[in-house]
């Protein structure tokens, strides 16, 4: 049975993977985050990984503060690029497959049709540039790598748009939300399940041979989000509908809400490749959102 290391274990995706770990009890799991293991410390990464010897390393750790990254580029680079290189090198040495997470922000959003994995990248900001360089580092230093680009993540864990909207709706009667950026809200719990699905399929090929070279589906980039698309305004509308809240919601253009980092106006991801390769079902973002909003309500 596989040994699975998960970095960024206290983040949104990491927390969802922790919840899901029980559904694959035969696997041996190791969840790690700061301060236990700082991934920018290459020696520590190799030493700790050599002690565990994972079959899979799921890298859910990242510098995700998109606006802060604009004035903190060196730190964003250390986490999103240098740390990824550390993990990829250790994976190569230890014969581990790396499942590395990336972002729709590698695109500039000028395309206006769902982005394929092969479409040219052109990040608009520091975060996107570091994530793109991180993808390249992962694939360059460990061929047994899968890069999964995702988008607009939310979860019952951590801070995200869903939780912010629910809080603001209770504090204020009137909210202004951007209506000219379009993407796909993605429930981190669905992404976590998709990653488990991928690992099960990869491991089923790997087990008898104990060499990743013969496993198909690696050394590839895949796009994953929930199905459908929405503006942030549509997303907020969906949240309030499901939570039975009724604030006055005003659609505004991006120009009315300036932020340090520019964001793609359109970043819907085409998911045919991951669905086809791994026979992966994906549900609509509204169905996933319903589940998350119900979970948050049950926790109140």
Ligand X SMILES: NC(=O)c1ccc[n+]([C@@H]2O[C@H](COP(=O)([O-])OP(=O)(O)OC[C@H]3O[C@@H](n4cnc5c(N)ncnc54)[C@H](OP(=O)(O)O)[C@@H]3O)[C@@H](O)[C@H]2O)c1
Is residue 39 involved in binding ligand X (CB under 6 A)? Answer: yes
CB atoms within 10 A of CB 132: 21
* Binds ligand X (CB under 6 A): choice among 42, 114, 158, 228: 158
Q: How many residues of this chain interact with ligand X, rule: CB under 6 A? A: 27
Q: Which of 21, 34, 116, 245 binds ligand X (CB under 6 A)?
A: 34
Task: Give the residue with the Cβ less far from ligand X, 7 or 242.
Answer: 7
Among 56, 57, 58, 64, interactor with ligand X by CB under 6 A: 64
Catalytic-residue membership of 127: yes
* Residue with smaller CB distance to ligand X, 7 or 96: 7
CA pair distance 62, 59, nearest whole angstrom: 8
Q: Which is nearer to ligand X, 100 or 278 (CB)?
A: 100
Pick from 236, 269, 288, 253: which is nearest to 111 by CA? 269
- Smallest gap from Cβ 157 to ligand X, in A, equals 8
Per CB under 6 A, which of residues 168..187 are in contact with ligand X?
A: none
Return the structure tokens found at 260: 């340090």
Does 124 bind ligand X (CB under 6 A)? Our answer is no
Q: Which of these segments, 35-43, 170-178, 216-224, 241-249, binds ligand X (CB under 6 A)? A: 35-43
CA separation for the pair 57, 31 (Å, rounded): 10
Q: Which of 127, 187, 222, 224 is catalytic?
A: 127
Q: Is the dihedral of CA 106, 103, 224, 284 positive or negative?
A: negative
Distances (CA, A) of 188 to 15, 101, 215: 9, 12, 26
Q: Is 11 in the site for ligand X (CB under 6 A)?
A: yes
Examine residue 76 and tell whether it contacts ligand X (CB under 6 A).
no
Q: How many other C-beta atoms lie within 10 A of the C-beta of residue 72?
A: 15
Structure tokens at 157: 């864990």
Minimum Å distance from CB 1 to ligand X? 25
- Enter the tokens of residue 220: 């590839």
Establish how many alpha carbons lie within 13 A of residue 223's alpha carbon, considering only the half-sphere containing its beta carbon. Answer: 23
Q: Is 152 a binder of ligand X (CB under 6 A)?
A: yes
Q: How many CB atoms lie within 10 A of CB 183?
A: 24
Q: What does the binding site for ligand X look like in residue numbers (CB under 6 A)?
A: 7-8, 10-13, 33-34, 38-40, 60-64, 79, 83, 101, 103, 131, 150-153, 158, 188
């Amino acid at each position: 049975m596989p040994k699975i290391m998960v970095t960024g274990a206290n983040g949104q995706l990491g927390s969802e993977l922790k919840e899901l770990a029980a559904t694959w009890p035969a696997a041996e799991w190791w969840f790690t985050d700061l301060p236990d293991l700082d991934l920018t410390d290459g020696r520590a990464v190799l030493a700790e990984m050599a002690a565990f010897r994972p079959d899979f390393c799921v890298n859910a750790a990242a510098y995700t503060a998109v606006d802060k990254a604009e004035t903190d580029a060196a730190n964003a680079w250390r986490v999103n690029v240098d740390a990824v290189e550390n993990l990829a090198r250790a994976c190569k040495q230890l014969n581990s497959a790396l499942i590395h997470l990336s972002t729709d922000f590698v695109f500039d959003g000028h395309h206006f049709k769902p982005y394929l994995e092969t479409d040219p990248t052109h990040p608009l900001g520091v975060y996107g540039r570091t994530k793109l360089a991180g993808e390249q580092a992962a694939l360059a230093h460990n061929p047994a790598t899968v890069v999964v680009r995702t988008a607009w993540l939310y979860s019952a864990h951590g801070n995200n748009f869903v939780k912010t909207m629910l809080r603001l709706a209770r504090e204020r009667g009137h909210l202004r939300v951007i209506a000219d950026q379009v993407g796909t809200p993605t429930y981190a719990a669905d992404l976590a399940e998709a990653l488990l699905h991928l690992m099960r399929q990869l491991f089923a090929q790997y087990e008898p041979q104990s060499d990743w070279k013969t496993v198909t589906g690696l050394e590839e980039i895949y796009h994953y989000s929930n199905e459908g698309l929405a503006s942030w305004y549509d997303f907020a509308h969906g949240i309030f509908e499901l939570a039975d809240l009724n604030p006055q919601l005003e659609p505004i253009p991006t120009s009315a809400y300036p932020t340090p980092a520019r964001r793609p106006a359109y970043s819907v991801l085409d998911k045919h490749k991951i669905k086809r390769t791994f026979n992966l079902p994906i549900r609509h973002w509204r169905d996933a959102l319903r589940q998350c909003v119900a979970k948050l309500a049950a926790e109140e």
